[in-house]
């Protein structure tokens, strides 16, 4: 069983916003988690975070003991912001997971094929090049164009979703009330239901 600290990048430091236990065979995202070996240290950090404290550590070290941590009492609003950002990031990562890599790879392969066959597609010549491919009657070129357009649509959705996350994160950072944060999170999470 892995003992994981849920972390959030806050510039020169990482803020620990929670803890989690995971089985050894579960793959975790290194952007969100930091594994600790000491169960006692894990429990100590868990108590601090649950006790409404800001728990951070410099990026230059990997926390291994209580002396590595920077601890200060945390306001309820700050706790709520950190948890909302972390939950939002989990939702985003769950939506994109590994499929975005395959979609991007497929897009690159088809785009390269089109370019190497004389169909360099830009925003300015998009319509013209689509018609040029279709009018050839070459089924391989037409199929490649269809896959290219499908991948492009998927990547556009991922980009839009990521932009929504950045707007959500910025709005949470600017929020002045807990209810406002809850509403922002509800609005963001509703995009994925």
pLDDT of residue 158 exceeding 70, the answer is yes
Q: What confidence tens digit (pLDDT) does each residue in 73-92 have?
A: 657 787 788 889 888 988 88
Query: What percent of the chain is modeled with pLDDT above 90?
Result: 41
Q: What is the pLDDT of residue 49?
A: 82
Q: What confidence tens digit (pLDDT) does each residue in 169-190 have?
A: 999 989 988 899 999 999 999 9
Contact 148, 135 (CB under 8 A): no
Q: What is the pLDDT of residue 42?
A: 86
What does the alpha-carbon distance between residue 81 and residue 102 come to, in Å, rounded to a whole number? Answer: 33
pLDDT of residue 72 exceeding 80, the answer is no
At 54, the pLDDT band (50, 70, 90 cuts) reads confident
At 164, the pLDDT band (50, 70, 90 cuts) reads very high
Question: For 124-155, b where at least 16 C-beta lie within 10 A, e where not — what string?
Answer: eeeeebeeebeeeeeeebeebbebbeebeebe
Closest C-alpha to 157, from 116, 82, 107: 107
Strands 2-9 and 13-22: antiparallel
What are phi and psi for residue 28, nearest 5 degrees? -115, 155
Between 192 and 109, whose confidence is greater? 109
Pick the range with the lowest mean pLDDT from 14-28, 37-51, 131-145.
Answer: 14-28
Q: What is the pLDDT of residue 150?
A: 96
As a 3-state breakdown, the chain gives helix, strand, coil percent values, each rounded to 5, of 60, 15, 25
Closest C-alpha to 83, from 160, 17, 164: 17
Q: What is the pLDDT of residue 180?
A: 92
At 26, the pLDDT band (50, 70, 90 cuts) reads low
What are the boundaries of each domain within the chain?
Answer: 2-74, 99-190
3-state secondary structure 14-53: EEEEEEEEECCCCCCCCCCEEEECCHHHHHHHHHHHHCCE
What does the alpha-carbon distance between residue 177 and residue 174 come to, in Å, rounded to a whole number? Answer: 10
- Maximum Cα–Cα distance for the chain, whole Å? 70
What does the alpha-carbon distance between residue 25 and residue 129 come to, in Å, rounded to a whole number? Answer: 47
């Amino acid at each position: 069983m892995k003992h994981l600290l849920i972390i959030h990048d806050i510039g020169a430091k990482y803020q620990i916003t929670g803890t989690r236990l995971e089985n050894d065979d579960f793959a975790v995202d290194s952007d969100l988690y930091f594994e600790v070996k000491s169960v006692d240290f894990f429990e100590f950090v868990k108590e601090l975070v649950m006790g409404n404290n800001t728990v951070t550590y410099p990026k230059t070290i990997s926390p291994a003991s209580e002396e590595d941590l920077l601890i200060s009492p945390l306001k309820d609003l700050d706790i709520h912001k950190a948890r909302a950002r972390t939950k939002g990031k989990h939702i985003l990562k769950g939506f994109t997971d590994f499929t975005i890599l395959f979609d991007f790879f497929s897009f690159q392969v088809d785009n390269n094929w089109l370019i190497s066959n004389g169909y360099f597609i830009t925003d300015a010549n998009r319509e013209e090049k689509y018609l040029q491919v279709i009018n050839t009657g070459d089924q391989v070129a037409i199929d490649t164009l269809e896959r290219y357009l499908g991948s492009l649509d998927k990547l556009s959705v991922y980009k839009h979703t990521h932009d929504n996350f950045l707007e959500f994160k910025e709005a949470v950072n600017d929020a002045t009330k807990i209810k406002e944060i809850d509403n922002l999170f509800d609005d963001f999470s509703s995009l994925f239901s």
